[in-house]
Amino acid sequence: MTCLFCAIAAGEQPAHLVLDEPDVVGFLDTRPLFKGHTLLVPRRHVGTLVDIDTGALGVVMAAAQRVAVALVAALGAQGSFVAMNNVVSQSVPHLHVHVVPRTKGDGLRGFFWPRTRYADEEEARGYAERLAAALPPA
């Protein structure tokens, strides 16, 4: 079975890229909690948190920090929610970090979250481009 996130990282599967660097790739979640919801994955396949070495984990989390800044700068979010499922609820068995834009009163409560969709590819592309342009330097 081919790993979807490995295919995205290799450019073999389309995605709306937010961040494309040698060791980490960030792209929009296709079923976002809120528009701008970004997934960050190590380019090299790693299944779970216990499988990644601390150096690579640092790179992924530094990218998460930069995306969190971009969510505020590009989308006007007041903050962000950063999370990682580890085996349970991990829909793709490739380590990934969710960075979700948050605004007070956005309705996100507990861990039962409705998902949304982008109106079309153009809207998703626009979100990806805005976030990419707002990323602080590495």
Q: pLDDT at position 89, please?
A: 76
Residues facing residue 26 across a β-bridge = 19, 40
Q: What is the pLDDT along the chain (138 residues), one digit of tens a residue?
A: 589 999 999 999 999 999 999 999 999 999 999 999 999 999 999 999 989 999 999 999 999 999 999 999 999 999 999 999 887 777 899 999 999 999 999 888 766 566 788 999 999 999 999 999 988 887
Q: pLDDT at position 76, please?
A: 96
Which amino acid makes up residue 35? K
Q: pLDDT at position 29, please?
A: 96
Do 115 and 33 form a contact (C-beta atoms < 8 A)?
yes
Strand order in the sheet with 38-42: 17-20, 24-28, 38-42, 97-102, 79-83
134 backbone φψ class: left, alpha, beta (φ>0; ψ -120 to 50): alpha
Q: What tokens does 74 get?
A: 């590009």
Q: pLDDT at position 113, please?
A: 61
Cβ within 8 Å of residue 79, ≥6 positions away: 68, 72, 102, 103
Q: pLDDT at position 135, please?
A: 86
Cα separation, 17 vs 63, whole angstroms: 13
Nearest CA among 2, 138, 131 for reference residue 67? 131
Residues facing residue 44 across a β-bridge = none
Q: What tokens does 27 get?
A: 């792209």
Q: pLDDT at position 136, please?
A: 83
